[in-house]
Chain A
Amino acid sequence: MLSAAGVGGALGVVLVRDVFRAALLLVLVFMTVAGLFVLMSAEFLAVVQLLIYVGAVAILIVFAIMLTREVQQGNLPNRLQLPAVVLPALLLAALIYVALDTDWNQQPGLDVASTGQQQLIQERLDVRGLGWATEAVQSNTVGGLPADWEDGVGRHIQERIDENLAIAEEHRANLRTSEAIDYETDAQILQAELIFLEQGRLVARLHPAFAEEFMEATEPTPLSEDLISALNAPDSPVQDVVEIRPKVQEDRWWLVGSDGDLKYSVVPGEATGILSVDGQSVSVENFPVLNVFEGRYEGAEERTGIGDLLINDYVLPFEVAAVLLLATIIGALVITRDR
Chain B
Amino acid sequence: MDLERLLILSAILFCIGLYGTMARRNAITVLMSLELMFNAVNVAMVAFAKYIVPTGVQDHLGRLLTGQMFVVFIITVAAAEIALGLAIVIALYRNRETVDITEASLMRR
Contacts and interface: CB of A to CB of B under 8 A. Distances in A.
Given A23-B32, A42-B49, A42-B50, A87 B22 contact: yes
A94 to B, nearest CB: 9
A282 interface: no
Contacts of A89: 15
Interface in B39-57: 39, 42-43, 46-47, 49-52, 54-56
Interface stretch (A146-154, A214-222, A305-313): A305-313
Contacts, number: 242
A78 interface: yes
Given A68-B90, A335-B84, A267 B8 contact: no
Nearest to B42: A33
A3 B100 CA distance: 31
Contact of A11 (B16, B18, B60, B62): B16
B76 A324 contact: yes
A96 B60 CA distance: 32
A313 B19 contact: no
B72 A310 contact: yes
B52 A40 contact: no
A115 interface: no
Contacts of B11: 91-92, 95-96, 99
B55 A108 contact: yes
Nearest to B51: A104
Interface in A172-206: 182, 185
Contacts of A61: 28, 31-32, 82, 86
A57 interface: yes
Contact of A306 (B47, B72, B93, B100): B72
Contact of A76 (B5, B24, B43, B73): B24
A53 B75 contact: yes
Contacts of A41: 50
Interface residues of A, number: 93
B69 A64 contact: no
A41 to B, nearest CB: 7
Contact of B46 (A45, A303, A317): A45
Interface string A93-107: 001100110001001
Interface stretch (A117-125, A226-234, A325-333): A325-333
A76 B25 CA distance: 6
B92 to A, nearest CB: 9
A303 B54 CA distance: 18
Contacts of A331: 84, 87
A14 B19 contact: yes
Contacts of B68: 42, 44-45, 306
Contacts of B59: 182, 185, 267, 269-270, 290-291
Contacts of A65: 28
Contacts of B77: 321, 324
A279 interface: no
A235 interface: no
Interface in A1-40: 3, 6-7, 10-11, 13-14, 19, 22-23, 26, 29-30, 33, 36-37, 39-40
Contacts of A83: 22
B80 A325 contact: yes
Given A75-B24, A108-B54, A99 B32 contact: no
A79 B24 CA distance: 9
Given A10-B36, A61-B32, A85 B16 contact: no
* Cβ-closest 9 pairs across A and B: A84-B23, A14-B20, A95-B11, A84-B22, A269-B59, A88-B15, A99-B7, A332-B87, A328-B80
18 contacts: A10-B12, A40-B50, A45-B72, A56-B79, A64-B89, A71-B97, A72-B26, A73-B26, A88-B18, A88-B22, A99-B7, A99-B11, A108-B54, A109-B55, A185-B59, A324-B77, A332-B84, A335-B87
